[in-house]
Structure 1
């Protein structure tokens, strides 16, 4: 529309496009204004990257407030969504207790770990590690 405006009157262009004059000038003003949260977005991205994506909108809001800038958590959340920043979600802690499900093996050792001869008693244990979201045993 801005390119055609040099060759044709604005009233004809708006009539053909079906736009109100106020809509045209409002959109022109918005384009010229720029991003009012550019500095805050840059700050949010810097905090996010310095903590390797572990901080969500609540912690980022707290860091910005501690620096002395009053900011609402909803604004930080909205800007993070616009920037495509998502924090890493911590995996839920594994809980093996599910009630009395399955069969329980009988306790044959009864804490008598001392053996009278070699290979008489064998015991083992399983340890689970969570590394980069995967379980290792």
Structure 2
């Protein structure tokens, strides 16, 4: 693999510069005869398949703003070509053409609050659900737009198929945002569905108002332990995906609340209906 990269680099430099083959081979530490032999070789079926995959990888990487690493890239290519593709092959090819997923930013540290109502950590990091509407997780996250303006997104995620059940975006981070989102999600349930809902210890979730809605709907409330954001891991992971794959890449474009809202709406639709989930066996949440 290393020598092949050297040969390709020599070939590119010969087209772009006036350096001699002898000099370039000496700099690359490779044999000139081996380079000529490499030039005259014919592509094997394996080489042709790799070239096809590289072209597809580059198109997907550009289309998805560089947000997919080799694992998700493998899932997309398996679906596209309808054949087995080893993730190690995609890793090698992406490494060869120097393509890597964009790096996520570190999450902010948890800020403690004085709770009016608390609940035990019933979920206890058991993030598997046997059917839809068995376990929900929820949280609120912050976005900035325009000149120092802020917006807040409340979302509820179903742990069975990893779909976003309901979401609301407002300019104010208050109880009304969380209560409205929960009430809209409850309207999607049948009479015999009473999911466990897990939250962190934010002021909205420890309020008497939130607890009244929970009790009235016959839901069980689970809370993360103080300072343990991993207890709400799937929700934190979704925020990471949303911000890494959409928000941070186009942050400068969001000058108005409407522009930000449209981008979030587009991403959540993409997430539910088009984004393949490895945990779902390569299906989107709605397909699963």
TM-score of the two chains, using structure 2 as the length reference: 0.25
Task: Write 1 or 2 for the structure with the bigger share of helix.
Answer: 2
Task: Write 1 or 2 for the structure with the bigger share of strand.
Answer: 2
TM-score of the two chains, using structure 1 as the length reference: 0.48
